[in-house]
Amino acid sequence: MADDKTKLESQRAAIREHKEKYERYSIQHDKDFALKTIKNCQNQIANILRSHPHWSSSWEDSWKP
């Protein structure tokens, strides 16, 4: 369980990082890549939370531009 909490926080941290990049980038290709990474992290988060439905969600879990 602790391992899943670590994975969850790691995925959320990656989303925060790539959200900042998405907002900073001016080239659409770069924005698309950051968004692709965010969506991948959100899929990983959904998989983790499916195993732990009692854990709280966070804004990173469903953020969209």
How do residues 23-44 score in pLDDT, each as one tens digit? 999 999 999 999 999 999 999 9
Select from 22, 20, 16, 50 the least CA-distant residue to 36.
Answer: 22
62 belongs to a structural domain: no
Does pTM top 0.75 for this prediction?
yes
Alpha carbon 31 to chain centroid distance? 15
Tell me how many domains the chain contains: 1
Domain assignment of residue 28, yes or no: yes
Residue 22 belongs to some domain of the structure = yes
Q: Is residue 20 part of a domain?
A: yes
What range does the domain containing 28 cover? 15-48
The one-character DSSP state at 53 is T
Evaluate whether residue 63 is within a structural domain. no
Q: Which residue has the tokens 């659409």?
A: 28
pLDDT value of residue 1: 62
Would residue 3 count as lying in a domain? Answer: no
Place of tokens 């939370």: 49
**Alpha-carbon distances of 36 from 19, 33, 39, 45, 55, rounded to whole Å:** 11, 5, 5, 14, 25
Q: Is residue 1 situated within a structural domain?
A: no
On whether residue 44 sits in a domain, the answer given is: yes
